């Protein structure tokens, strides 16, 4: 089940006796926890009937005992168990001894007055373990993973709806290009845009262009666009904006180098016949980044990308050795990168 669908169920006060949230998308996990607490019990009950355990400090059998204990002057209890490290293949060694079999027994016949939430905020758990298999089979399971390219439009549309506004596919695409896939930033920026256009109205492209914050990574993408377009003036303007955001030129070199490195890897893999999905798996990058890189790599030759990496490495060394002023060195770097682009095109 998707995290948005799960939250909608919680808002309708439809609860499962056991939930299993897993994945590294912290914002999704926090949104799910908050939705469950807000809709699952009154605020004055939270002191007595809400328990939050860190499984790096408390054994799972104690959590189960709590779940089996009747609520105090309330309809239900909510028990959240975070950092379920024992679900991973190689748990961190601690003095805490977990008894997963106790959890397995409990989820087969959970207490009708308790909601138990198991949280594994990890990229991977050990799917072979019996306790993991049983959780996925019995509990309401919600993967909390970074958004994929194919569901970005759906999720952003839903977030806009939650804020009482509508958003077109064109604006959604602009939103993704500017903000990326960080859910926390997406929610924050959508709230700002919704307040600006007013409830019941549609967010226009000009509204998004006016108000959307420009995170550093987004600016790095724009910087790459300026380099590809041989637009030195625009590249320097973007650099000035980043410096106003207190971004160090050394950090900017690392950002640009990361962009060129990804382009080089994608180009080489494409030459070997790799698909976008295979590139994502091989390079450990987001699908959207892979798609963008596939489009951009066609504008570069392998030799050109390698020479750009050499220039970046050389500039980085000059700055760190104190041979050149940081800002001057970075502007010179842009000039040399774009000059090479012009000589090739």
- Clarify whether residues 220 and 207 are in a common domain: no
- Clarify whether residues 39 and 89 are in a common domain: yes
- Clarify whether residues 9 and 67 are in a common domain: yes
User: Cβ neighbours of residue 25 under 8 Å, at least 6 residues apart?
Assistant: 144, 145, 146, 147, 183
Res. 277: pLDDT tops 60: yes
- Clarify whether residues 156 and 130 are in a common domain: no
Res. 43: pLDDT tops 90: no
2-41 pLDDT, tens digit per residue, is: 888 899 899 999 999 999 999 988 888 998 999 999 999 9
Residue 215 has what pLDDT? Answer: 56
Decide if 41 contacts 76 (C-beta within 8 A). yes
Computed over every residue of the chain, the mean pLDDT equals 87
How far is Cα 215 from Cα 279, in angstroms, rounded to an integer? Answer: 25
CATH number at residue 155: 1.10.8.60
Q: Of 104, 120, 143, at which residue does a domain stop?
A: 143
- Clarify whether residues 47 and 86 are in a common domain: yes
Residue 39 has what pLDDT? Answer: 94
* Region of residue 73 (phi > 0: left; psi between -120 and 50: alpha; otherwise: beta): left
How far is Cα 301 from Cα 298, in angstroms, rounded to an integer? Answer: 8
Q: Which residues pair with 143 in a beta bridge?
A: 22
Residue 296 has what pLDDT? Answer: 86
- Clarify whether residues 36 and 159 are in a common domain: no
Band of residue 64 on the pLDDT scale cut at 50, 70, 90: very high
- Clarify whether residues 167 and 249 are in a common domain: no
Helical H segments across 130-179, by residue range: 130-138, 149-162, 169-179
Task: Find tokens 């970046």 and name the residue.
Answer: 312
How far is Cα 112 from Cα 76, in angstroms, rounded to an integer? Answer: 8
Res. 238: pLDDT tops 70: yes
User: Which phi and psi (to 5°) does residue 116 adopt?
Assistant: -100, 130
CATH number at residue 52: 3.40.50.300
CATH number at residue 243: 1.20.272.10
Mean pLDDT for 35-54 is: 91
- Clarify whether residues 321 and 235 are in a common domain: yes
Q: Domain limits at 169?
A: 149-211
- Clarify whether residues 24 and 139 are in a common domain: yes
Band of residue 118 on the pLDDT scale cut at 50, 70, 90: very high
128-153 pLDDT, tens digit per residue, is: 999 999 999 999 999 998 776 557 78
**Burial state string for 31-56 with b = 16 or more CB within 10 A and e = fewer than 16:** bbbebbbeebbeeebeeebbbebebe
Residue 147 has what pLDDT? Answer: 72
* Region of residue 237 (phi > 0: left; psi between -120 and 50: alpha; otherwise: beta): alpha
The vertex-122 CA angle with 119 and 125, nearest 5°, equals 90
- Clarify whether residues 278 and 318 are in a common domain: yes
- Clarify whether residues 112 and 227 are in a common domain: no
Q: Of 173, 196, 211, at which residue does a domain stop?
A: 211
Residue 237 has what pLDDT? Answer: 86
| Total tally of structural domains belonging to the chain | 3
Mean pLDDT for 264-279 is: 93
Mean pLDDT for 280-304 is: 84
Maximum average pLDDT range among 48-52, 69-73, 207-211 = 48-52
Band of residue 271 on the pLDDT scale cut at 50, 70, 90: very high
- Clarify whether residues 10 and 117 are in a common domain: yes
How far is Cα 251 from Cα 263, in angstroms, rounded to an integer? Answer: 19
């Amino acid at each position: 089940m998707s995290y948005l669908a799960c939250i909608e169920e919680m808002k309708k006060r439809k609860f499962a006796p056991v939930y299993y949230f897993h994945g590294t998308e912290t914002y999704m996990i926090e949104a799910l926890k908050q939705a469950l607490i807000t809709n699952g019990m009154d605020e004055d009950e939270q002191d007595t009937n809400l328990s939050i355990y860190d499984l790096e400090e408390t054994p799972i059998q104690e959590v189960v005992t709590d779940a089996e204990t009747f609520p105090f002057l309330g309809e239900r209890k909510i028990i959240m168990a975070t950092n379920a490290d024992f679900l991973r293949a190689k748990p961190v060694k601690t003095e805490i001894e977990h008894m997963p079999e106790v959890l397995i027994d409990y989820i087969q016949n959970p207490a009708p007055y308790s909601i138990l939430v198991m949280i594994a905020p990890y990229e991977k758990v050990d799917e072979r373990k019996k306790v993991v298999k049983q959780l996925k089979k019995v509990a309401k399971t919600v993967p909390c993973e970074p958004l994929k390219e194919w569901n970005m439009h759906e999720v952003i549309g839903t977030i806009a709806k939650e804020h009482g506004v509508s958003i077109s596919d064109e604006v959604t695409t602009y939103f993704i290009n500017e903000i990326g896939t960080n859910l926390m930033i997406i929610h924050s920026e959508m709230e700002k845009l919704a307040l600006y256009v007013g409830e019941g109205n549609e967010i226009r492209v000009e509204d998004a262009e006016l108000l959307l914050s420009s995170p550093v990574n987004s600016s790095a993408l724009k910087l790459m666009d300026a380099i590809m377009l041989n637009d030195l003036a625009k590249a320097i303007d973007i650099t000035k904006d980043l410096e106003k955001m207190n971004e160090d030129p050394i950090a900017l070199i690392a950002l640009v180098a990361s962009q060129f490195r990804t382009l080089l890897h994608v180009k080489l893999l494409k030459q070997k016949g790799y698909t976008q999905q295979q590139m994502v798996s091989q390079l450990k990058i987001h699908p959207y980044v892979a798609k963008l890189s596939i489009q951009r790599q066609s504008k570069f030759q392998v030799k050109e990308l390698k020479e750009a990496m050499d220039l970046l490495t050389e500039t980085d060394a000059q700055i760190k050795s104190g041979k050149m002023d940081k800002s001057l060195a970075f502007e010179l770097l842009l000039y040399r990168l774009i000059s090479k682009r012009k000589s090739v095109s």
